[in-house]
Amino acid sequence: MGFPGSRSKETRVWLLRSDEARFGEAIATVFPTATWRCRHGNRLDREPDHMFEGVLDALECGGGVHAFLPLPVPGEPGMRGIPAVQLLRSDLRHNEQGRYFRIGRVAIRWFEPDLSPVMHQLVTRQTNEVWRALRSVTSPAHVVRMLDGKEVAGRRIGPDALRLVQAEGLPLSDWTDAVMYRPA
C-alpha cells in the first residue's frame, strides 16, 4: 500500500540497447527539449547529476544501470525533489543453467501534496505521454512462469530483445534471478 498522496506507475521491460535508443527517440519526438540525467552513488552522498539529450549517454554516465527523465519537461537544470521517470536497464546474465535476460523497468513516483495542482496535472499528463511512447516502441511480453506454466501479464519487450530471445531461446527473469519465464 502506498503513502497517502503517492502516485506511481511502473512497467517491467526487457530492452536491448537498440530498444533503449528507440525509446529515447520516441521521448524526443514527444518532448524535443527533454533531458535525461545520470545518477552516481547513493542519495545522500553522490556527485552531481549530469544532463544529457540522449538516454544512452545518461545510462553510460550513470554506470550503465539507470537513467532518469525529470518531469515536467522542460525542467530546470539542477532541480531536485521533482518527479523523474526511471529507466532501469535490463541485462543479459549467466548462471549455472546458462545465459538469461533479466528484467528492467520504467517507473515514476511522486507525492501529489508536494506539487501544486497545476504541476500535478502537468506531471500526470506527461507521465501518460511517456508511457504512450514506451508502448509505441515495445510490445506486450506474453510470458509464462517456467515453474508452474502460468501466464504473467503486464510486461513489455522491445523488438530487438524479442528477436534475440526467440533466436537463442533465452529464458527471461525477474529481479530475483530465481523466477524464470519463457515466451508464451
Phi, then psi, of 88 in degrees rounded to 5: -95, 120
Rounded CA separation 152/147 (Å): 12
Q: Residue 29 has what pLDDT?
A: 96
C-alpha cell at 133: 511512447
pTM for this prediction:
0.88
The helix (run of H) or strand (run of E) holding residue 7 is strand 6-14
Phi, then psi, of 91 in degrees rounded to 5: -150, 150
Rounded CA separation 138/15 (Å): 9
Mind listing the pLDDT tens digit of every residue in the chain (184 residues)? Answer: 455 667 889 999 999 999 999 999 999 999 999 999 887 765 545 566 788 999 999 999 867 889 999 998 875 554 545 789 999 999 999 888 888 999 999 999 888 888 888 888 999 999 999 999 999 999 999 887 777 778 888 899 999 999 999 999 888 988 776 667 777 6
C-alpha cell at 3: 503513502
Instruction: Identify the three-state secondary structure at position 75.
Output: coil
